[in-house]
Amino acid sequence: MRQAPYVPHPGKIICVGLNYRGHVAEGGRGLPVRPLLFAKFGNTVIGDGEPIVRPEGTHALDLEVELGVVIGTRAHRVPEARALDFVDGYVVVNDVSARDWQGTTQALREGETGDGQWLRAKGSDTFLPVGPVFVGADEIPDPQTLRLRSWRIPGSGPDQGRLVPMQDGSTADMIWSVASLIEYISRVITLEPGDLVVTGTPSGVGVFRDPPVFLEPGDRARCEIERIGTVENPVVDWSAVTGDAGRAHH
């Protein structure tokens, strides 16, 4: 059964890369000196049970469980100490990424290079499954204490149909907290009610495994955050999609 995303039409989707210490370490990087921001658009948003479409030309689709922060009050130059007052609540999201287009070395075949930026890799149609459950900020007074997990459910092979663990982390591992991200972003980008801030992913993604593990057509991707719930989506190849099937609906 398909369920609509709780935030079907966010005005802005502002995402944060490399915001978990463990994820930075597994990629062999040094800690960033400031939040790495990028954007997704409404075309990426799908609900629970809707298909993630692997686009033509990528072979390295990966999943990233992330805490989504829904803005409730207009926020402009908000201090960190008050930032959580501007949060309406929280959702679980999956920041789907085409690692070869992103340029991640472990995903590149001989002769391949990345795009030099992340727009295709992060912003293709269906690349942001958003869970159907919204939990108000009053129910999660401290968003830095939440467990996040993800699984790949293979569509074939010896593990067919089984939950294969991928990520298992905590928002306590964030480099920049939810409050500090809102302060940083709102200095220069005014956040409006309904905007979605996607706060980064813990370690355990497929691209940094040995060998790398990518989502294949027939698989399912499942992401979960405690006290919020899950979002689970089948993966299909672009060649199996006709018309508007599998595209984000608005």
pLDDT for 243:
62
Mean pLDDT of 219-245: 92
Question: Domain for residue 5, yes or no?
Answer: no
124 within 8 A of 97, measured Cβ to Cβ: no
Confidence of residue 250 (pLDDT cuts 50, 70, 90): very low
Give the helix/strand (H/E) hosting 136. strand 135-136
In tens, the pLDDT along 68-79 reads 999 999 999 999
Q: Is the pLDDT of residue 114 over 80?
A: yes
Q: What's the pLDDT at 239?
A: 96
pTM given for the model: 0.95
pLDDT score of 121: 98
Instruction: Report the domain count for the chain.
Output: 1
Total Cβ atoms within 10 A of residue 242: 7
Do the domain assignments include residue 176? yes
- On the question of pLDDT at 25 being above 90, the answer is yes
DSSP run (H or E) holding 231: strand 229-237
Q: Is the residue at 218 inside a domain?
A: yes
Domain assignment of residue 250, yes or no: no
Range(s) of the domain holding residue 208: 13-239
Residue 6 belongs to some domain of the structure: no
Which is nearest to 186 in space by CA: 92, 91, 86? 86
CATH at residue 137: 3.90.850.10
- Examine residue 191 and state whether it is found in any structural domain, yes or no: yes
Domain membership of residue 227 (yes or no) is yes
- Judge whether 154 and 160 are in contact, CB under 8 Å: yes
- Tell me: pLDDT of 248 over 60: no
First to last CA, the chain: 19
The model's pLDDT over 173-211, given as tens digits with 9 standing for 90+, comes to 999 999 999 999 999 999 999 999 999 999 999 999 999
Name the average pLDDT for the chain.
Answer: 95
Q: Is the pLDDT of residue 1 over 80?
A: no
Question: Is residue 197 included in any domain, yes or no?
Answer: yes
Residue-wise pLDDT for 84-95, tens only, equals 999 999 999 999
